[in-house]
Amino acid sequence: MVKKAFFASFASLLFAFGADLRGDLGRILGENHPAIENIMQNERSFIDERNNVNYNALFARLKNQGLLEPSNSANIQIGFSSPDDNAILMVKAVGEVLSKMGYKYYLTTHFDANSAQWGIALSSRNSLEPGVLYSQLANSKIYIKKISKQEANFYIYELDLSRASVDSDTLNVNQIRPQKPYFLNVADKKSLSIEADSDDSFQPFIRVFDKNLKLIKTQKSNTITYSLTMELPTEANYVLIEDFFSLENIKHGLKINLN
């Protein structure tokens, strides 16, 4: 069961630019832990090039000094929050990172789109070390700004998603049968054109999203279409293209050009 403190901690986290190593240590070890002053003497060694806490270095130090109590790796709880209005982007981008790390199955225990809060629970033979998660998130330009520890295997992470992106498909010059809807990055593009095979029955259903995955434009038709051109809004960042009824209607694939 998710603890009440989990939800309270979400509400109490405040976004701050720059590293707050002392604050993180207080939330991880306890505010008056004697090891804090010793670690603070070498503060710069725990700050990364973006002026955030280097949680990989920090947790390695804490682990080497025996300052982290043993955890039950079978039951992991994690909370994520973001100060920006980008809950959908957070869920998709962080979910992709977790999947790449091998954590493909988890239960959402809390989700608040208005305040961009997401809690999950997962079972694993291996604990999810905060330092490893820090590095993997950074690879996708997702940066941890603050950590709050609830239990041995329960951390809440406040994230900076201002540069985050999600995985998108690569345009293929050859039309091939799609296994899923086309999801493309259209940042800095002004329009897209689509051509369908004459043997298919393409009935377009196109959705355009901004960088935070907010839906900003939809175009759909139940009329069989063989070619179309669509102007993209200036804030367009992603586009999802599929058939209005079934991918079976485009079994020969679509030829898509971005301009």
Give the model's pLDDT for residue 19.
80
Contact present, 220 and 244 (Cβ < 8 Å): yes
Alpha-carbon span 150 to 28, nearest angstrom? 8
Alpha-carbon span 225 to 209, nearest angstrom? 23
Count other C-beta atoms under 10 Å from residue 153's C-beta: 19
Contact present, 208 and 238 (Cβ < 8 Å): yes
- Which pLDDT tens digits describe the chain residue by residue (259 residues)? 444 444 444 444 433 345 899 999 999 999 889 999 999 999 999 999 999 999 999 999 999 999 987 765 668 899 999 987 789 999 999 999 999 999 988 999 999 988 999 999 988 877 789 999 999 999 999 999 999 999 878 999 999 999 998 999 887 756 788 889 999 999 999 999 999 999 999 999 999 999 999 999 999 999 999 999 999 999 999 999 999 999 999 999 999 999 9
Domains in the chain (CATH in brackets) are: 4-160 (no CATH), 182-258 (2.60.40)
Give the model's pLDDT for residue 165.
86
Contact present, 90 and 144 (Cβ < 8 Å): no
Give the model's pLDDT for residue 171.
79
Alpha-carbon span 115 to 158, nearest angstrom? 12
Q: Is 208 exposed, middle or buried (0-12, 13-18, 19+ CB in 10 A)?
A: buried
Contact present, 119 and 108 (Cβ < 8 Å): yes
